[in-house]
Structure 1
Amino acid sequence: MFTEITVGVIVRAHGVRGEVVVDLRTDEPERRFAPGEVLHPDPSDRDGGSGTFTVVRTREHQGRWLVIFAEIGDRNAAEAARRVRLVARVPADERPADDEEYYDRQLVGLAVHTQDGTGESDEPIGQVISVMHLPAQDVLEISTPTGARLVPFVSELVPTVDLGVGRIVLAPVAGLLEDLEDQTADRDQAQDQDGAAS
C-alpha cells in the first residue's frame, strides 16, 4: 500500500538547460530527490496534469535546491513547470532512517492514551491533530474533549508510539493536558507534509 506526499514545488527555471529551483517540502531531500527517483505532479493541482519527473541530478546553490529532471530539457519546459507541486509515492509503512523518528503523517490521527499508576494504558483521551516543528522541539497538538492541547514530543512525556495499534501513550505527568493557550501562537511556525518528528 502506498501513500502520496508532497516533497517540493518547482519555483522557477535556473539557467537555460532545464535545471529548476525546487522549494523543498521534505526533511529528507537527499532521499526524495535521489537520482532515479520518479516524482509526479500533485493530482489535486488544477494545472498539475499528468506525467512524471525523473530526477537526473541535484545540487545545492546559494541555499537553494537545484534539480535536473529527465523530462525537462530546456528553459521553456522549465518555465512551463513552474508552480508544479511534486509528489512522491511511498510505502505507507515507510519510516525515517532514524528509528526514533516518525513522519508527521504517521502521527496525525493516532489515538492518545494516558498511563495509570501501574504504567498501563488507560482509555483514549484524544487524538493527534497536527505536529509542530518548533526551534526547541517538536510538539504534538492533541484534540481532547476540553479543547486542543500541546504536548512536547519527547520520550519522557510520550514514552510509547505504537503505529501498529494506532496510538500513543502519554506519561502520567500532572498538568500535562492543562490549558497551554500561551503556546498556540507557535502554530504558525509549524512545517507541513513530509516533516519527520523525533
Structure 2
Amino acid sequence: MKQKRFSVKNVLAVFGVLFFIMIMGAYLTNEKKDILYIRHNLDKFHTETVPYHDEIEFTLKTDEVIHGIDKPIKITSIYDTDVYVTEVREKKNHIYVVLGFDSHINWQGGTMLSFFRLNDDDYYTFSTGFIEFDAYDEYGEIGDYGGGFGDNRGQYQQVGHYNFDKEEFLKSNEWTFEISGFHLLNYSEK
C-alpha cells in the first residue's frame, strides 16, 4: 500500500488558511466596544445614568481656529471618556468647531460621559435637547452661534459642533466654550 505524503506546498496552503481564519476571528471579536455598544446591548450590562453637574470649558484663540489644527486637541478626560476638539474649519463664511467624545469600556465597570439618559423601562432618551453650549468672546459677551450634538460611528462615538458666522467669530481674539447638561452612564457587565 502506497502512503501519501504531504507536500510542502499543501502544508503551507493549510497553514495559510488557518492563519487567515485566526486573523479574521481576532478582527471580528475585537470590534471596538464603546458607549454605543453599551447602549445597543443594555441587556448585557447593569446600567444607570445620573446627571453630570459639572461643565466642560475650554478656550481657543481665533488665529488657531482660522489656521486650523493639525491633530485633535484633548480638552479633558471625564472618567472613561476623552473629550477633544477634533476639527476646526471654514465653510461658506462659517466657522465650525467640532468636538469628539471618545469613550472606552472598562470591563470591570466604569463611567462614561453620555448624551442620553436611561428610562425606568430600560430604554433611553437622547438628552441632547438638555445640553447647553455657550461661547463667550474675550470680553465675556456671549457670541452669536448655532450647533448641536449627536451620535457618530467613527472614532468619536458622540460629537458636537459650534457654528459661527465668520464675521462674528473674527470680532474676538479668543473664544471660551462652555458645555453642560450631560449625563454619566455607570455600567458593569452582567
TM-score (norm 1): 0.28
Higher relative contact order structure (alpha carbons within 8 Å, sequence separation ≥ 6): 2
Which structure is larger by alpha-carbon Rg, 1 or 2? 2
TM-score (norm 2): 0.29
Q: Which has the higher helix share?
A: 2
